[in-house]
Structures are given as structure tokens and as C-alpha cells.
Structure 1
């Protein structure tokens, strides 16, 4: 990992250019609001213009986020994607568990898993955590309300055992009174066999099917487009971006990313507040 400024275009291949641009949303395209687990809904003009240049040059732009499908389509609208009459956009949602085309929303691939044992194990250790599962296309079911702004769409209160009675694509565990470090340690202690997990900027734990990540979702998209990982430029800032940054031909961490995310990347661009994603995209488009 090194800074963007000092890294060669592509070692041994000065003519390389991205054919697919994979973009995280929160902390990459949108700024985090200090002290919360939410981001601003204001998109920087520089970032929007840079993404549009990439798209208009012919690169496939793929939004790739831990967000649920219903909360990603609005970001595509903010970016003005896709162009009128053009092919539908590819979107990788739910940390890779759901792949869809838009507009309209058309889920073309979904990975699910049985989360019951893992959730029961977590509740034994932390009985007061908040639990939510995606109600795909609509919103979430949760055991109690989450902090304001952290979940969008339709929100329904339901018993945990009912929420995980059937296979799900993702489970969210949240504790507003804990720290991310608490949850990192919790994941280590639990040894969630057969299930992958990732900790966010706050005490937020995403449970996903084993082997499913943004990288696996993007790999599915590349297969459909007859592209290789080497064709991909990926930009992200979170722990859920590590696999994507390692998998892509060029993985770029935001300057606001935790150390372990920066270490996984090929290069590090500027902070989201300084339009780091636009800076990286402007190297190519």
C-alpha cells in the first residue's frame, strides 16, 4: 500500500485503464456525520462529475455497498445513472449477498443463509443488542428501533426468532452503547463457523453467508460482462471493503479508512471530505 501520488499507473502496463469501477457509498461517495453511524445525503459535485465521466467514457460503474437494495437506488439517481435509454445499472448490495439491475429493481442473484444459531449465540453474550434483517425491497424487520437515521425504508418490529426463522441474506447486530473494538472482540470470541461477519465504524456487526463479500458480488457481475478482476478499479473505506480492494486489479482505500483497510489496498487516496474518490477517478477519466 502506498499513496496515490507515488504509485505507477499499473506496473508493467502503462496503457491500463479500468473497464469497471466499483464504488462503495458511505464514507467513499458520501461523508460520515461525526458521532453517528449515518452519512450525509449530499453528494459532492466533484464526485458526481468524476463518476459521470467514468460512466460516459464507457466504463461500467457498479455501486457496491453494505446497504440494502432499496437504499442504493436513490444514490444511483443522485449520480444520474444510468443514462436515459442506456443499459440498466449493475448494483451489488448487502455486502455482496444481493446483485440487482436498476431501473427498475430486478434482483438477479441472491445468497442466503441460516442465521439462527449465530444470532442465538450473540444474544447469549449480549442480550440487549438490536437485531435487524432485511425485508428485501421494502426495509427492515427489527427487534427494537435503531438509532435515528441508521435504517431506512419500512421498519417493522418483530420477535428475533421470527426474523431468523427462514434463510436471510444479512443480519445486522447493533449496540449503541458499545464500541467497534467491542464488536471486533465479540466476533473473535464467538467463532461464528460457517458465517462471515464484518464490523462497521460503530458497534455494528453484519452477518453474511460464508464466502460472500463485495468481491464475490462483483465477481458475479464480471462474469456477466466477460471481464476479469484485473479490469476493475475499486474504491472503498470500510472493513467490508477489504476483500473487494484485495480482489480488484486496483484497490483504492479512502484516506479516512481504518489502518487495516488501507493496508489491504494498493493505494490510498484523499479523505472523503477532500473528494478522494474524485481524485482517484480523475487519474483515469
Structure 2
């Protein structure tokens, strides 16, 4: 990579990258630090595309886009591109317009997980509303309304993403479970807690970003991606420059080209300042 390299597109994870974690809770502060806001806008002012790429569902991402003011104008070319649901949904904003959605039959995988963790919580996104769940998730873990629904009904139709959460299990138990089951027919991501995201095979933030880059005419070599979680692994490997946040686990750090400061030390600002200094 040239010393004079500058990204044409910056892909940003949200939780643990743009937003700091609330200590001891599975939630983040819904506040954008002023330094982060300024750094992102310096990139935009330089003509760089900024794309949010998250495991969140679409309606959980538009507020962050609003807080960052990522849509400076009303023209079609200025509408934001967003990669949601770990790549299963690509949408434009505002107004929220789903451009692409991948779906799959989650029933076999959900049944396999529940056979070993029968008390686990299951959620399926109900776009524009919130989630349909077998039982309520802990406060702060899901955005939007939670509508209680029987598991059989949750997975009766093809879906873009399923979340399985067991508050009584550990991350290590869920990592071992996913590896042991193989979860044929789906891809999976284990989060910071005993949280399992099930997605269509081959779908990731990287596949969603590839679709956006094609639409924008941007080469992957000209992309910068910043993230901190297991669901960022493919994105960090795919991007021209993949950067892990300082608090990321070793597996994520190893997948990246570089490691920046932690989210608590404005790691996004540190990285963006390399190309778009104040």
C-alpha cells in the first residue's frame, strides 16, 4: 500500500467502534463523541463515502446515521448507503429503502441450538417495528418493539437473520456449540456474550460492502474498514485496509492490517486522522 494511499470509502462498525459500551451491559451509549463526529465529517468533506456496517437491524441504524448527520443533502447521490444485519440487508437512507435482502431457512439451525440450550431466547427481525421473540430479551439488547411469538412461527418463513441468546451461558460455550453443530446451511457469528447471529451462507458485512462498492464504482482496494467484533472478521480481511479497534479480541486483531486505539480512546479518530487530519 502506498504511503500516499487515501480511502475512497470508509466502512464503520457501530457498537464498540463508533459507540462506547456501557460497562456490564449488552448495550452501548447512543452518543457520538464530538471528536468522532468531526473526523467522520472531515472524511466526507474530502469526498470519501462513509458507510455504516453493523449487525444491527436497519431501524437500529438510522438513529446513528442521524446522530452523525451522514445525509447532508436530499439528492439521490447523497443518500447514505448502509449495510445492516451483518450484510443480509443493504439499504439507502433517508428515507429507508431496502435495496437488497438475503433470506434463508433458519428452522434446522434454530432447532439444533435449542436442543442443547432449551431456555435460550430467539429473535427474528420485524423490519420497521422491532423483533418477534419467543421471550423478551434483557433490557437494552434489542432495538424497537418486542412481540412475543412461538418459536415454530418465528422460523416458519425464510428470514434474513436470527438471534439466539442464552443469558445463562458463556461466550466459550456458544463458540464450542457453533463449531460442534457445524450449522450447515447457515453462517454464524458469536458475539461478546452468549449471543449467536445466524445468517444466510456467504453473507457478511464484506458481501454487503462489495455490493455497495459496485454501486458506487469503488474498488475494494480503496476501502478502509474499522471494527471490533467477530462479525467484522470478513470485512477486515476484505477491505483494502482493515483496522481493528484496540479492545478487540486477538482473533479480530489478527484478521486486520492494523490495530488502532480502543473505542474509549477514540480509535476511529486516530485512524481517520491519518488521512483526513484536522
TM-score range, shorter chain: over 0.9
Match of 1:58 in 2: 47
What is the alpha-carbon distance in structure 2 between the residues aligned to residue 32 and residue 182 of structure 1?
22
What is the alpha-carbon distance in structure 1 between the residues aligned to residue 144 and residue 134 of structure 2?
16
Q: 2:149 aligns with which of 130, 136, 158?
A: 158
Q: 2:28 aligns with which of 27, 39, 42?
A: 39
RMSD: 0.8
**TM-score (norm: length of structure 1):** 0.95
Stretches (4+) displaced over 4 A: none
Q: 1:77 aligns with which of 58, 66, 75?
A: 66
Tell me how far 1:109 sits from its aligned partner: 0.4
Match of 1:233 in 2: 224
Match of 1:90 in 2: 81
1:117-145 CA distances to partner (integer Å, 9 max, x unpaired)? 11111111110000000001211000000
Residue ranges of structure 1 left out of the alignment (5+ in a row): 1-9
What is the alpha-carbon distance in structure 1 between the residues aligned to residue 23 and residue 173 of structure 2?
19
What is the alpha-carbon distance in structure 2 between the residues aligned to residue 45 and residue 201 of structure 1?
26
What is the alpha-carbon distance in structure 2 between the residues aligned to residue 23 and residue 255 of structure 1?
15
Q: 1:185 aligns with which of 173, 176, 192?
A: 176
Tell me how far 1:277 sits from its aligned partner: 0.6
SS at structure 1 position matched to 2:38: helix
What does 1:1-285 align with in structure 2 at a 5 Å threshold?
10=1, 13-86=2-75, 87-285=78-276
Aligned pair count? Answer: 274
Residue ranges of structure 2 left out of the alignment (5+ in a row): none
Match of 1:6 in 2: none
What is the alpha-carbon distance in structure 1 between the residues aligned to residue 170 and residue 273 of structure 2?
36
